[in-house]
Structure 1
Amino acid sequence: MLKQICVLVLISLMLGCGTAKQKNSKVKFDKELVIAFGSCDNQKIENLLWDDVLKNNPDIWIWGGDNIYSDPYNKYKMIGDYDIQSRGEDYRQLMKSTDILGVWDDHDYGLNDGGEEFEFKDEAEQLFYDFLNEPKNSVLRKRKGTYNSKTYFSSVGSVKIILLDTRYFRSPLTKDFGSSKRYMPNAYGDGTLLGAEQWKWLESELINSKADFNIIVSSIQILSNKHGFEMWGNFPHEVDKLFNLITTSRAKGVILLSGDRHISEFSKININGLGYPVYDFTSSGLTHSYEEFNGEENPFREGEVIKERSFGVLRLNLETKKATMQMIGDGNILLQEVDQVY
C-alpha cells in the first residue's frame, strides 16, 4: 500500500512540474479571457502605455522579453533595474488586479544576443523569478531554463499559456558577413533554440492539452524570417519541428506571441493538415520603437507594420471560440485588429 502511495505522489509531482493550473490566481472569468502583453520596456524611459493597459482590464499581463535593459550583466545593477521597473505606480496597480507572467530576452538575460554560453545565466534566472514574485521554494527555481505553462479554466472552456525560454539553451548563431544582415540561418539541423529537455516538455504540453486555446509565447519572432536579426528562422529545422508538433498534437487554437523587434505586426501561416491558420502576433516595444522603419521582407505578414509604441491585447471568447487580436497605442487607440474563429 505504501509503495502505491509513493508512486501516485511521484506521478503527481511529475505532471505538476512546470505547469500551474490557476493556483493562487487573481483571474476569474466566464466567457472571455483578456490577455495584454508587450516587450522592450526600458526602465530608464517612461512607459506611457500602462494607463492604457489598465483601461483594457486584462485578466493576465505577459512580459514578452527585454522587460528591463540590463546588459552587460552586473548582478546588483540588474537588481536595481528590476526594482525601478517594479516601483512604477501604474504597474503596481496592474499587479494588484492581474496575473503577471513572462518570458525573458537578451537584455534581461544579461547578454546582448546571448545564448547557452552566458556564464551568469543561472544567477540571472533567479533574479528574473524574483521580479515575477515566484516563491522561493518553487520547483521552477530548481530547474534549468525559465520555460513554464499555466492553464486557466472557466465554466465554458480553458486557455493554456506556454512560456518558452529562447535563451538558456540556444546554440550559437551564424554571422552573416556577406550582406547587411546581422545573422544568417544555420545549416539545416545545426544547433538548437530550445534544447532537448525543453522540446520534450513542450511536446508533452501540447499533446496533453485539452485547452480551447493554446498561447505559445516566444521572445523572438517565429514566422518572420527574412530580416537577419534574431528569429526562429535562424534554426529552420526547429521551425519545422514546431509546426509538425502543432499539427500532430492536434492542439486547438494555437496562437503565437512574440516581441523583440521594436515594431508590431501580424504574421500568418497555413500549415498543411492543421485546419486553422497560425498567427504570430508580434508586439514591440513599450517604451521605444523603430520609428525609422521603412520596410523589410516578411512573406507571412498580414496587414501593416506598426512602428509606434504599442502593446498587444488578445481577447479569447471561450463560447464562440473567437480570438480578437489588437494592437493598441498611446491614448488607448486601436492601431490594428484581426479576428479569427478556431
Structure 2
Amino acid sequence: MFRLAAIPLLLLLISACTSNKKPAEETEVQWDVTIAFGSCNKHDLENQLWDDVLKAKPDLWIWGGDNIYADTSDMEVMRNMYAKQDKVRGYRKLKREVPVIGTWDDHDYGLNDAGLEFDKKAESQQAFLDFLAVPQNSPRRSRQGVYAAHQIGTRLGMVKILVLDTRYFRSSLTDATEEGKRFQPGPYGEGTLLGEQQWSWLEAELQSSEADFNLLVSSIQFLSDQHGFECWGNFPHETERLKQLLLKTGAANTVIVSGDRHISEFSKTKLDGLPYPLIDFTSSGLTHPYSDFDGEANPYRIGNVISEKSFGLLRFNFSKNEVRMQMVGDEGVIYQEIRQTY
C-alpha cells in the first residue's frame, strides 16, 4: 500500500530511446512507483485523458499548472471554476483512487503571465489550496506561495517531490525586442523567479534529501529557453543558481517536470560535476494542445515535439535505479518515451 507523505509532517515509509504509438502496458520491468502529471486543463472542455490516467495505475497525480483557466481577480468566479473541475466525472474518480498534489501557473494564479504584482495572489493561494484539499491547519495556509515537499515510495526506495511556485515571488518579465517573441532574458543578476524564501527552502530540502530520486515540479520549462515565452531562461542567473544548487547539495537523480507550453517534449543536458544527465520532461496540454505548432529551437531536445493532448508518466524502478518517462495520449497511446538509468 502506497502512502504519500507531506513534509514537514512525519515521513511514512511504505511497504535514450523514443517510440511512437505503443500500448501503455509494461511487463518486462517491475516499476515500484508510478507518477502521472499534466497541465493546461480547461474545466469547461472535455478532458479525454482521465480514464487513461487511471488505466496507467499511478500512485500519484501531479497538477503542473493551468489546472483551470480563471484569469480573474474575482475569487468567487475562481472558486466556482474549481468547483466545476471537481465535479468532472473522470477527475472525481481519479481523486477517489489516487492522491493529488500540484502547483499553479498563470491562468489559475489569476492573471496571464503574472508574477508578484498580482494583487489577489494571497486570496488565490487559499482557493488553490482548497482545491487541493490542504488542511486548514497546514503550515502552507500561513506561508506565502504554494511550494511544498512530498515523498512517496516503498520499502525499496523513495521519490521526493519538490513542488515549486514560479508565480508568487517572480519579478517582472522583460519584453522581447525580437519579432515573434513575447519575452527575452532580463539583465543577469536582476530579478527573481523563486524569491529568497523559496530558494532557502529548496536548498534545505535538497540538502536533507535521502530519497533515491528527486522530482522538481516547475510550471514553466527549465531547459528550453529560446522560444520567447515564459521559461526559466528569462532569468538566466536563476537558471544558473538551480544548476549550482544541484551540484552543491549533491541531490541524487533529480528530474524536472514542467508544463505551460501546450506541447510535450524531452530536454536533456549534462552539467559538469553532476553524475547524471539533467532531464526536463514537459507535458501539456490536457485539453487544448498547440495543434498549430510548426517548430522552434531547443538545443536540449530529445526526439520530437508532441502537439497532441497528452499527460506525462514516470515509472521508477529502485533496484535498477531507472526511470521510464512516457508521453501518453487518448486510448493509452504512447507518443514518445525515454528510459534513463542513474
TM-score (norm 2): 0.92
- 1:82-107 Cα offsets, whole Å, 9 max, x none, are 01111111111111111101000000
User: How has the CA–CA distance of structure 1 residues 118 and 283 changed in structure 2, closer, same or farther, with 3 Å as cutoff?
Assistant: same
Question: Which residue pairs with 1:217 in the alignment?
Answer: 217
- 1:211-242 Cα offsets, whole Å, 9 max, x none, are 00000000000000000000000000000000
Q: Is residue 285 of structure 1 aligned with residue 306 of structure 2? A: no
% identity of equivalent residues: 52
- How far does residue 206 in structure 1 lie from its aligned partner after superposition? 0.6
Give distance in 1, aligned partners of 2:80 and 2:63.
18
Q: Is residue 141 of structure 1 aligned with residue 130 of structure 2? A: no
- SS of the residue 2:331 aligns to: coil
Question: Which residue pairs with 1:177 in the alignment?
Answer: 177
- How far does residue 73 in structure 1 lie from its aligned partner after superposition? 2.3
Question: Which residue pairs with 2:43 in the alignment?
Answer: 43
Conserved in 1, the CA contact under 8 Å of 2:40 and 2:285? yes
Give distance in 2, aligned partners of 1:315 and 1:150.
17
User: How has the CA–CA distance of structure 1 residues 304 and 36 changed in structure 2, closer, same or farther, with 3 Å as cutoff?
Assistant: same
Give distance in 1, aligned partners of 2:284 and 2:232.
17
AA matched with 2:158: S
Question: Which residue pairs with 1:8 in the alignment?
Answer: none
- How far does residue 247 in structure 1 lie from its aligned partner after superposition? 1.3
- How far does residue 44 in structure 1 lie from its aligned partner after superposition? 1.1
- How far does residue 22 in structure 1 lie from its aligned partner after superposition? 5.3
- How far does residue 180 in structure 1 lie from its aligned partner after superposition? 1.7
4+ residue segments displaced more than 4 Å: 20-23
Aligned counterparts, 1:131-210, within 5 A:
131-210=131-210
Conserved in 2, the CA contact under 8 Å of 1:311 and 1:329? yes
Question: Which residue pairs with 1:229 in the alignment?
Answer: 229
- SS of the residue 2:204 aligns to: helix
AA matched with 2:217: V
- Please tell me the root mean square deviation across aligned C-alpha atoms, in Å: 1.6
Structure 2 residue ranges without an equivalent (≥5): 16-29
Conserved in 2, the CA contact under 8 Å of 1:188 and 1:237? yes
- SS of the residue 1:331 aligns to: helix
Paired residues in the alignment total: 324
Conserved in 1, the CA contact under 8 Å of 2:31 and 2:315? no
- 1:314-336 Cα offsets, whole Å, 9 max, x none, are 00111211000000011110100
AA matched with 2:105: D
Structure number with the bigger relative contact order (C-alpha 8 A, sep ≥ 6) is: 2
Give distance in 1, aligned partners of 2:179 and 2:198.
33
Structure 1 residue ranges without an equivalent (≥5): 1-15
Say which is worse superposed, 175-184 or 96-105, in terms of deviation.
175-184
AA matched with 2:339: D
Say which is worse superposed, 113-122 or 243-252, in terms of deviation.
243-252
Give distance in 2, aligned partners of 1:164 and 1:47.
25
Question: Which residue pairs with 1:103 in the alignment?
Answer: 103
User: How has the CA–CA distance of structure 1 residues 100 and 288 changed in structure 2, closer, same or farther, with 3 Å as cutoff?
Assistant: same
Question: Which residue pairs with 1:275 in the alignment?
Answer: 275
- How far does residue 20 in structure 1 lie from its aligned partner after superposition? 4.2
Q: Is residue 82 of structure 1 aligned with residue 82 of structure 2? A: yes
Q: Is residue 19 of structure 1 aligned with residue 19 of structure 2? A: no
AA matched with 1:315: R
Give distance in 2, aligned partners of 1:153 and 1:222.
25
